[in-house]
Structure 1
Amino acid sequence: MPSTHRVLRRMATVINTHGLHRGEQFAAHGPTDALDICAIAYIVAEDRPAPAVFFNDEVASFELIEASDRAMAAIRAISAALDTEPCDTNGGPDYIEHVSNWAATPPIGATEPPTTSEVIGRILRAADSIARDHTLPPHHHAA
């Protein structure tokens, strides 16, 4: 089972190689079948190709991603590295919506969403933060 740190690092590689889908659904057919950031978390964490539902069923895609503990750990780590907080839906934070919207939507005052390099950078910072937190002595907590 890959650690969250490794899932995040692999996600950065996948995005660098295949790009990032920022449109409708969690994936789009094309030369490289681009995936949404949360779909990438799923395929990397579960070590499997993109399921067909990612291309045509947003509700089923959401449920599939949410059912993967490893994907959700990576998505929560990215969410924690963002400058905003996730919205609460159904009694809890909506991490998938938070991370997907961040990667696909221009921030306030901007006309473009974060660049691919900015997305990769944020994922790598989340990975580094996890690696750093796991190397602290057991009695020490990060500030």
Structure 2
Amino acid sequence: MYRSNHSMETMRRTISRKGECMKNLMAEVAALLEVEIGEEFDIEGIGLSFPIINPFKITENGLIGHKGGEISCSLYRLLTGEWTIIKKPWKPEEDDKYYYVNPDGYTESSRFFHAFDYSMLHSGNCFRTEQEAEANREAIMEKFGWE
């Protein structure tokens, strides 16, 4: 743990110039890895001599492990492709807007708060964006035999 914190501090000093820090690139790193800042995900790795304890998330401070500590070596392994991110399915909170494909193949939206919404979630027909719902239209139509 000390070594990990020490290396992060060394990195911070290295990227510091004349007392001013360079631009924080963690949002770009998250986008590169196709996750959002603060989104929890699992990591899968190969050839490990130790178990990976999930979940993780990327914050403005770096890759954060399940106990809240920065893990710079794991971020390196993600960026080099040695480890892979396993995204967790999105689950809306109460009153969140979500999108779904109706039996006629149209994309509709709803607010998440009653039994219908839970049925959409558990059937795999619950998407964060309209674009995600549209991208999954054919699969949903086929899954439910709505073609």
> TM-score range with shorter-chain normalisation?
under 0.3
CA radius of gyration, larger in? 2
Larger RCO, structure (CA 8 Å, separation 6 or more)? 1
Bigger strand share: 2
The structure with the largest helix share of the pair is 1
